[in-house]
Amino acid sequence: MNPSERLQQIKQKALQEAIPIISDEGLEILSFLISKHQVHRVLEIGTAVGYCAIALSIAHPVEVTTIERNESMFQQAKAHIALCMMESKITLIQGDAQVLELLDPLPFDLLFIDAAKAQYQKFFEKFSPLVKVGGIVVCDNLSFHGFADGTQVALSRDLKQLVRKINRFKTWLSTEDAWETSFLSLGDGMSISFKK
Ligand SMILES: C[S@@+](CC[C@H](N)C(=O)[O-])C[C@H]1O[C@@H](n2cnc3c(N)ncnc32)[C@H](O)[C@@H]1O
């Protein structure tokens, strides 16, 4: 079985187990950005089982650094990266996304934020300085399954609070002068920000 076939198995297993992975549309957007803007170095916050990192590494000449805090996800990602023979292209780091000191100091061309939704602004502020001028930050799940764009109504207090945080982040991002941001309703809602 080749790495692409193994990747499809990883995807199917993740979907069966309700592990959140990037949508096909989201992956297409990342692939488009990587090809169009000559992206070579990618930083991903939130690896889960490694699906997105592996998919990008198979499809493009990129190096991906990806951070995962959950032990079980980390172990699964590690096994999947080995299974797809992508160890030389993917650096997997275990830890909370505060592990800045473990990252090498070279700038990244693209930062993909796909971890705890309540902390997006914190992640953006922490990691976007590592992105080069002209580089890109992509944030996923900004519609949060329709709850954050008003197509579904959040009922529980926790969900309402999370939706408020996501919407506050979107407002904050849209007014950040150092970034040129577009919001897409593709996939589960994405932002694409270019560093000025
Ligand atoms: C949506 S999943 C990532 C999916 C992955 N990007 C993909 O498309 O294949 C989010 C992951 O972020 C991880 N996560 C949440 N908060 C984190 C944090 N503060 N630091 C590192 N990982 C975190 C979760 O454990 C979860 O596995």
Average pLDDT over residues 67-86: 97
Name which of 127, 72, 121 is nearest 98 in CA terms.
127
Closest atom of ligand 1 to CA, residue 14: 9
What torsion do the CA atoms of 96, 102, 108, 113 make, to the nearest 10 degrees? 0
Instruction: Kindly tell me if the per-residue pLDDT of 63 is higher than 90.
Output: yes
Q: Is the pLDDT of residue 131 over 80?
A: yes
Q: Is the pLDDT of residue 102 over 90?
A: no
At 133, the pLDDT band (50, 70, 90 cuts) reads: very high
How many CB atoms are closer than 10 A to CB 93? 16
- Give the pTM: 0.96
What CATH number is given to the structural domain containing 184? Answer: 3.40.50.150
- Residues 135-146: what's their mean pLDDT? 91
Pocket test for ligand 1, best of 8, 54, 69 (most atoms within 8 A of CB): 69
pLDDT at 71 (0 to 100): 97
| pLDDT tier, 98 (very low <50, low <70, confident <90, very high otherwise) | confident
- Over the stretch 147-191, which tens digit does the pLDDT of each residue have? 777 778 777 888 889 889 999 999 999 999 999 999 998 888 999
69 Cβ inside 6 Å of ligand 1: yes
Residue type at position 5 = E
User: Quick check: CB of 28 below 6 Å from ligand 1?
Assistant: no
Q: Indicate which atom in ligand 1 lies nearest the CA of residue 22.
A: 8
Q: Whose CA is nearest to atom 25 of ligand 1?
A: 70
Angstrom distances, CA of residue 71 to CA of 50, 67, 77: 13, 11, 10
Distance 52 CA to ligand 1 centre (A): 11
Domain count, the chain: 1
Q: Which domain holds residue 43?
A: 3-195
Q: What's the pLDDT at 154?
A: 73
The DSSP line for 62-103 is: -EEEEEE--HHHHHHHHHHHHHTT-TTTEEEEES-TT-GGGS
Which of the pair, 136 or 117, is modelled with greater confidence? 136
Residue 144: CA count within 13 A, CB half-sphere: 23
Give the residue, by CA position, lying nearest to ligand 1 atom 13: 46
Alpha carbon distance 183, 186 (integer Å):
9
Distances (CA, A) of 46 to 93, 154, 178, 196: 10, 24, 24, 25
